[in-house]
Amino acid sequence: MNFQIENATPFLNRLEKELNPPQFQAVTYTDGPLLVLAGAGSGKTRVITYRIAYLIAVKRLAPWNILAVTFTNKAAGEMKERVDVILRHSLRGLWLGTFHSLCARILRYDGKAIGIDPRFSIYDTTDQGAAIKRAMAVCNVSPKEAKPAAILAMISKAKNRLEWPEQFEENARDEYEVRAARVYKTYQAILRENNALDFDDLLIEAVRLLLHKPEVGETYQKRFQHILVDEYQDTNHPQYLFLRELAKHHNRICAVGDDDQSIYRWRGADIRNILEFERDFSNVKIIRLEQNYRSTRNILAAAGHLVQQNSGRHKKTLWTDKEDGEKLGIVRLPDEISEAIWILNEVSRLYTEKSTPYGRMAVFYRTNVQSRLFEEECIKRGVPYRLIGNIAFYERKEIKDVLAYCRLLINPADMVSFQRIVNLPKRKLGAKAVQCLMDYASLMKLPILKAAKTIREEKHEATIHPTTRERFYLFSTLFQKWHSQTKTLSLPTLIETIVNDCGYSAMLEEDNDPQSQARLDNIHEFITAAMQFEKRFDAEIPSPVDTIVKLAAFLENVALVSQIDQLQEGEDALILMTLHGAKGLEFPYVFIAGMEEGLFPHSKSLDSKEAIEEERRLCYVGITRGQMRVVLTHVESRRLYGRSEWTRPSRFLQEIPDRFVEELCWSDAKPSLYHPPGVMEAFVSFGGDSGDWRKEQFEPGDMVNHRSFGFGVVLGVEGEGGRARVTVDFQEIGKKTVIQEFAKLTKV
């Protein structure tokens, strides 16, 4: 295939127009190793993108002679698109991806040389957790002696130092490390047995391949004539070695980075790589970019003052010819719910008043659990959103499990939920026995939970062993007990009781998999959601209501929340993501939620200066994503992981000089601009209640009025009184099913 582009001159002219002089220099310098060190938004990624285009268009390189490394798959995709736009040329054969994906590719092609079967599977954290527990059992190391997560971390560190079990054992300083070495060895054996590699293995095996099989190394060294690396500040040692090996003959490597944005040191990223780069590659050219094209002057200055508090950083100049722009907004709110409401008010206002597409606005937070309230608030208002890099809250396994318990409590005939949890945690109820019980229930026309209870007495039922029948019975008694408690327990306490009684929380607590702790946290977050729901419910429905009714309403609410259609790629949607995920991206409007001590900076960083500095860099990354406006919110008291606590504003807020900041208050977001009331209002209706709705009886064809949905025609009714489920075709919003107790429909 011919990759000649007719004439390079117009292309070069174009580059000169679209790049400033140092950027142009960085794109076109090909005489040796190049390091671009520059602050946020100065065009580092732009340099990489244009450089790929330049190499192909002007230097006549074939795309397959280029290797480009980015930090996330999302960034890789975006970069490919951008090169495509600049070049309008086939990029077939270009290797552009993350370190992990590129190493995996090399190992699939050539791993055989070091004994790796090309069909290997890649183990994620959950798989790793399982493997390490097996390894510990084999080595007689109980989880009480050493936490599996701690041993995994130790192994990962060793791997990052390129220490194999043998060396690790040799270097062991005490008995603990000797035993850890044995576990490490067994863990590797288990991975091998399963033909699997973990994430660290991908990197170090690729490095090993390049180092120890010169003939393989040479093919790649010859193939990749140019190597480009974005976000260089976050590479770790094996990644560095990988690059060094590939580039060692020709030295044509271009790395761009910003030491102020290194946010993965806890994961082994090593800032020394920047220093080693200068040592290992001779005649390194260093180019600095100083003009920021992204943000207004206020945003840039605020971020700059913040990061200056860090010691041990390279001093940098960063300027912009943009206007001052709006000051950074800081908002103090009573609690996390008002925080979500405030931010969504502001999002709605920008959308309606300024016609800002949702996709130009982003909400960042420090921890994943913070996303739930934003998700809920979006859904209530019908604001489309996209949650990046994370499974939606109600889609998580542990939440679905707990929901299944709750559903079965309400609906004893719910076979799907029954099947999901009858043996979770393990109750020695195998799939076969469960199937037999389900057949029996269908045959006898019994709700599955009832069948579980009565099967014990079933004299003629021979397919299920009596011990197993006894176990089914015991399982059913759990639900009996919870039913009897629905009159006395509050909604959150009921759910907590369920989670405890059924053994689910104990199962997670005993399990030392690091994911289990996160799962427990999520369950606490779910209980918090129930508490918040009950509060709203009680405020709206004054008469005492059995908790089972509340649970039904809560589940219905959750069902609607989790049913949100998957957004199509490219559809306009508000972006929700963690600060870590935001690296490299930019948005006109940025909201950073949860600016509180203990949350951001995170509590686990509070006792180390270095960790605080990393948090500060993360904050710098967050603020510098903003192009036009950045708003930081913090709350007086926050309920997180099921506990409510008074909080103090983040120190980072104080570190931004007052002149770049304006304090906003609750009323600055205009509640009148709410979008049409959504899900929650469908259940929890409004005050001024005469109680007449209780007496209403509906029939299909009746014309009714709903406080927020307006007029509609009844299509169908199930049940009666407050619990009646009425399906109505509303004139404005179409078909909806509501519960009369909450909807309070009146006949017209």
Residues of this chain that interact with ligand ATP (CB under 6 A) are 19-20, 23, 38, 40-46, 258, 261, 293-294, 584, 586, 624
Q: Closer CB to Mg ion, residue 28 or residue 45? A: 45
Q: Are 387 and 371 in contact (CB under 8 A)?
A: yes
Q: Measured from the CB of residue 624, what is the shortest distance to ligand ATP in angstroms?
A: 6
Q: Closer CB to ligand ATP, residue 23 or residue 417? A: 23
Q: Which does residue 629 touch among ligand ATP, Mg ion, none (CB within 5 to 8 A, set by kind)? A: none
Instruction: Return the residues of window 43-72 that contact Mg ion according to CB under 5 A.
Output: 44-45
Instruction: Please tell me which residue in 23, 28, 44, 613 is annotated as part of the active site.
Output: 44
Instruction: Please tell me which residue in 163, 198, 200, 230 is annotated as part of the active site.
Output: 230
Q: Distance (Å, rounded) from C-alpha 61 to C-alpha 53?
A: 10
Q: Which does residue 46 touch among ligand ATP, Mg ion, none (CB within 5 to 8 A, set by kind)? A: ligand ATP
Q: Distance (Å, rounded) from C-alpha 556 to C-alpha 539?
A: 19
Q: Measured from the CB of residue 263, what is the shortest distance to ligand ATP in angstroms?
A: 12
Q: Closer CB to ligand ATP, residue 82 or residue 108? A: 82
Q: Closer CB to Mg ion, residue 45 or residue 239? A: 45
Q: What are phi and psi of 223, to 5 degrees?
A: -65, -50
Q: Are 636 and 332 in contact (CB under 8 A)?
A: yes
Q: Measured from the CB of residue 99, what is the shortest distance to ligand ATP in angstroms?
A: 17
Q: Are 591 and 363 in contact (CB under 8 A)?
A: yes
Q: Which does residue 20 touch among Mg ion, ligand ATP, none (CB within 5 to 8 A, set by kind)? A: ligand ATP
Q: Are strands 226-229 and 66-70 parallel, antiparallel or unpaired?
A: parallel
Q: Measured from the CB of residue 82, what is the shortest distance to ligand ATP in angstroms?
A: 9
Q: Closer CB to Mg ion, residue 44 or residue 133? A: 44
Q: Distance (Å, rounded) from C-alpha 598 to C-alpha 232?
A: 29
Instruction: Please tell me which residue in 28, 45, 225, 454 is annotated as part of the active site.
Output: 45
Q: Closer CB to ligand ATP, residue 154 or residue 621? A: 621
Q: Which does residue 294 touch among Mg ion, ligand ATP, none (CB within 5 to 8 A, set by kind)? A: ligand ATP
Q: Distance (Å, rounded) from C-alpha 134 to C-alpha 140?
A: 10
Within a 10 A sphere around the Cβ of 43, how many other Cβ atoms? 24
Q: Measured from the CB of residue 255, what is the shortest distance to Mg ion in angstroms?
A: 12
Question: Residue 443 pairs with which residues in a beta bridge?
Answer: none
Token match 């120190």: residue? Answer: 651
Q: Indicate if 231 belongs to the active site.
A: yes
Q: Closer CB to ligand ATP, residue 17 or residue 459? A: 17
Label residue 274 exposed, middle or buried (CB < 10 Å: 0-12, 13-18, 19+). Answer: buried
Half-sphere exposure of 244 (CA within 13 A, CB side): 19
Q: Indicate if 322 belongs to the active site.
A: no
Label residue 173 exposed, middle or buried (CB < 10 Å: 0-12, 13-18, 19+). Answer: exposed
Instruction: Return the residues of window 176-215 that contact Mg ion according to CB under 5 A.
Output: none
Q: Closer CB to ligand ATP, residue 20 or residue 517? A: 20
- Closest to 699 measured CA to CA, from 747, 631, 649, 635: 747
User: Quick one: which segment of 114-122, 262-270, 584-592, 691-699 binds Mg ion (CB under 5 A)?
Assistant: 584-592
Q: Distance (Å, rounded) from C-alpha 657 to C-alpha 296?
A: 16
First-last CA distance in the chain: 74
32: tokens are 């040796």
Q: Are strands 661-664 and 587-592 parallel, antiparallel or unpaired?
A: unpaired
Label residue 466 exposed, middle or buried (CB < 10 Å: 0-12, 13-18, 19+). Answer: exposed
User: Quick one: which segment of 38-46, 140-148, 491-499, 539-547 binds Mg ion (CB under 5 A)?
Assistant: 38-46
Q: Measured from the CB of residue 17, what is the shortest distance to ligand ATP in angstroms?
A: 9
Q: Which does residue 163 touch among ligand ATP, Mg ion, none (CB within 5 to 8 A, set by kind)? A: none
Question: Residue 662 pairs with which residues in a beta bridge?
Answer: 329
Q: Indicate if 699 belongs to the active site.
A: no
Q: Measured from the CB of residue 22, what is the shortest distance to Mg ion in angstroms?
A: 15
Q: Measured from the CB of residue 293, what is the shortest distance to Mg ion in angstroms?
A: 11
Q: Closer CB to ligand ATP, residue 159 or residue 583? A: 583
Q: Indicate if 198 belongs to the active site.
A: no
Closest residue to Mg ion, based on beta-carbon distance: 45
Q: Are 23 and 241 in contact (CB under 8 A)?
A: no
Q: Which does residue 304 touch among ligand ATP, Mg ion, none (CB within 5 to 8 A, set by kind)? A: none
Q: Closer CB to Mg ion, residue 45 or residue 186? A: 45
| Vertex 13: Cα angle to 8 and 17 (nearest 5) | 145
Q: Distance (Å, rounded) from C-alpha 117 to C-alpha 135?
A: 22
Among 268, 584, 598, 712, binds Mg ion (CB under 5 A): 584
Q: Are 134 and 106 in contact (CB under 8 A)?
A: no
User: Quick one: which segment of 42-50, 332-340, 610-618, 649-657 binds Mg ion (CB under 5 A)?
Assistant: 42-50
Q: Contacts with Mg ion: how many residues (CB under 5 A)?
A: 3
Q: Closer CB to Mg ion, residue 45 or residue 627? A: 45
- Closest to 748 measured CA to CA, from 682, 694, 708, 693: 693
User: Quick one: which segment of 40-48, 323-331, 471-479, 733-741 binds Mg ion (CB under 5 A)?
Assistant: 40-48
Instruction: Please tell me which residue in 163, 198, 205, 231 is annotated as part of the active site.
Output: 231
Instruction: Return the residues of window 550-579 that contact Mg ion according to CB under 5 A.
Output: none
> Per rule CB under 5 A, is residue 42 in the interface with Mg ion?
no
Q: Measured from the CB of residue 15, what is the shortest distance to ligand ATP in angstroms?
A: 10
User: Quick one: which segment of 8-16, 448-456, 566-574, 582-590 binds Mg ion (CB under 5 A)?
Assistant: 582-590
Q: Indicate if 625 belongs to the active site.
A: yes
Instruction: Please tell me which residue in 182, 360, 469, 625 is annotated as part of the active site.
Output: 625
Instruction: Please tell me which residue in 261, 547, 578, 740 is annotated as part of the active site.
Output: 261
Q: Which does residue 390 touch among ligand ATP, Mg ion, none (CB within 5 to 8 A, set by kind)? A: none
Q: Indicate if 563 belongs to the active site.
A: no
Q: Measured from the CB of residue 264, what is the shortest distance to ligand ATP in angstroms?
A: 14
Q: Are 162 and 204 in contact (CB under 8 A)?
A: yes
Q: Measured from the CB of residue 287, what is the shortest distance to ligand ATP in angstroms?
A: 12
Buried b (16+ CB within 10 A) or exposed e, 398-409: bbebbbbbbbbb
Contacts of 413 (CB under 8 A, 6+ apart): 447, 448, 449
Q: Which does residue 371 touch among Mg ion, ligand ATP, none (CB within 5 to 8 A, set by kind)? A: none
Write out the DSSP string of 201-218.
HHHHHHHHHHHH-HHHHH
Q: Distance (Å, rounded) from C-alpha 535 to C-alpha 509?
A: 29
Q: Are 653 and 295 in contact (CB under 8 A)?
A: no
623 to 342, 587, 595: CA distances (angstroms): 19, 10, 12
Give residues in contact with Mg ion (CB under 5 A).
Answer: 44-45, 584
Residues taking part in catalysis: 44-45, 230-231, 261, 625
